[in-house]
Structure 1
């Protein structure tokens, strides 16, 4: 991590520890966006493809997220909080895929193909 980010992080931590609660929340928010690890735009695109979306804009449209946010994500990726949500969604998708494979092995019913045909 660069020295500037370390100094900014330290400064924001000091503000958060010694300020009224609203200012603490603002400082924490700034810290999260300036210092915490983000998901890059390329990693975001890959994650969304795995979740079944062709583009960041398609995901944002499906989620009701404004177009200007999609454009920002295309350029800068997403915050650590959104990164955590997306990684959780990917983990759930992988668990579902595993459970589906186990179900199909027992029943010989093509559940994955059926769900994909319905874009689920």
Structure 2
């Protein structure tokens, strides 16, 4: 997730940075903070990073995203682990007392 967020941030910053650096007369520098031309791209990257972070936080707050499918994934894993446990018991790899103990542990 962080990789995608960073990729988006870099893509946005790289497409907008040349416009932040250019003066109206076509030159570079001298228009921000008395010649500190590097502050434009830094502040822009900070702003877009903050904006992306806020969007992610809002989406997670409302349960949209990776947390929304967590209960479905958990039940699928539970069913899969129960099936594997039953298969091992059926093949004779584990005894009945171990089967019951592990089933109790898996089901909570």
Give the TM-score taking structure 2 as reference length: 0.40
Give the TM-score taking structure 1 as reference length: 0.37
* Greater relative contact order (Cα < 8 A, sep 6+): 1
Which has the greater radius of gyration?
Answer: 2
